[in-house]
Each structure stands twice: as structure tokens, then as C-alpha cells.
Chains A and B, each alone.
Chain A
Amino acid sequence: MSFREKMLWVAITAMGLGFGFYFVTLLTPIGENATADYYVGLLLSIIGITIGAMLIATLLLFLRDRSEVHFTEDERDRDIHKSGTQMAYYPLLLGVWGAGILYHHGVSTPTMLNALLAVIVSAEMIRLGYQIYLYRKA
């Protein structure tokens, strides 16, 4: 498994767990009494934890075998990166339009912002997942 594929696994796991927790909290009675500040704090924590997990994983991989750590993408990495981004583009576009339509039909601003966040996270998960699939296939 290449360095970039390992980093994709770390990113998709951290994002899946972090944002999964966020949306479960948001959509269940657990978060009924939570304030907007709580959610902003939770969101910032999740972003920090995701970035932190990737930095720690990079450091651990570097310490284990520095020859495997490539900070620059080679041509296959670039192809996979591009394909993943293309795959995520249309779900992102449709999702943003969908959130806009929801807002037009009278949903509250926080709900629309959370819908937009869900769209962005979903698109990112599609991008990461498809890139992992391409690394696994080739």
C-alpha cells in the first residue's frame, strides 16, 4: 500500500467517524439541548482532529520507513487524484443546488448550512473512497 493510499484511509476514517458523530448528534435527541456554539465547537474539533490524525499518521509512516513517504505526487497519483475529484464534482454540484432549493422553500439558515456541510462531507467521502478504489484496482 502506497503512502498516499494510507493517508486516504486515515482521512476517510477520521472524517467518517468525526462527521458521523456530528450528524448523529445533530439528528438525534442527544443534541436536543445543545446550542449553536456547541456545534461550532464540535465542528472545529472534528476538523482539528482530522488534520491532526493525518499529521500524526504522516509522522509515524515517516519514522517507520522514510523511503515510502512521498510528499510529491507522481503521475499515477495525479491521475487518481483527478479522477476522484471528477467523480465528486457532480454530487457536490447537485447537493449545493439541492441545499439552495431547500432554502428557497423556507428551511432555516442553520438547517441549510448543515445541509451544505453534509453535501461537502459526502462529496469529500466520495472523492476519498473513489481514490482508494482506484489505488486498490491498480
Chain B
Amino acid sequence: MAQLPFTNNIRALRFAHKEMTQGELGEHLGLTRQTVAAIEQGKYSPSLETAFRIAHIFEQPLEDIFIWDG
């Protein structure tokens, strides 16, 4: 799988939010810990719905979480 054309700040945001674990974030999103890890590492492109859910949890605009590198 090719590297995605965008990066994200999910890891930093998790730590800023009471050091939320990948498992805890996954529970909020209905994802496994491994899927959250894959999203964080840029190995898996989440659905638009999940991207919005992440933005909602961290109370940040979508474009502040996912940064286009293309």
C-alpha cells in the first residue's frame, strides 16, 4: 500500500487529550486499536465519516488534523 498523500496530528492530539490511548480512541470511533494505529501511521485512509468523528472528538477542524501533502 502506497503512503497516503496526507499526514495527520492524531498522535499529538491524543497526548494533548489526557494521554488518550489508541484503544480508547478506537472505542469512541468504533474501530480496533490496530486500525487507529494504521491511521496514525498514514498506512490506512479512514472514511470521511471517521475523519469527521476524529475531528469532533478532538474539537478541531478537519484540516487541522489531516494535512494534505500531495
Please list the residues of chain A having a beta carbon within 8 angstroms of any beta carbon in chain B: 1-5, 67-68, 70, 74-77, 134-135, 137-138
From A2, A134, A138, contact of B32 by CB (8 A): A2
B interface residues, how many (CB within 8 angstroms): 14
Q: Which residue of B lies closest to A74 (CB)?
A: B31
**With contacts A134-B1, A138-B1 known, is A75 near B32, CB below 8 A?**
no
User: Majority SS of interface residues in chain B?
Assistant: loop
23 contacts between A and B (CB under 8 A): A1-B34, A2-B32, A2-B34, A3-B32, A4-B32, A5-B34, A67-B23, A74-B32, A75-B31, A75-B46, A75-B47, A76-B31, A76-B32, A76-B35, A76-B44, A77-B32, A134-B1, A135-B34, A137-B1, A137-B43, A138-B38, A138-B43, A138-B44
From A1, A74, A134, A137, contact of B35 by CB (8 A): A74
CB of B9 within 8 A of chain A? no
User: Majority SS of interface residues in chain A?
Assistant: helix
CB of B61 within 8 A of chain A? no
- Report how far A1 CA is from B34 CA in the complex, Å: 7
CB of B50 within 8 A of chain A? yes
| Chain B residues within an 8 Å CB radius of A3 | 32
- Report how far A22 CA is from B31 CA in the complex, Å: 39
| Chain B residues within an 8 Å CB radius of A134 | 1
Please list the residues of chain B having a beta carbon within 8 angstroms of any beta carbon in chain A: 1, 23, 30-35, 38, 43-44, 46-47, 50
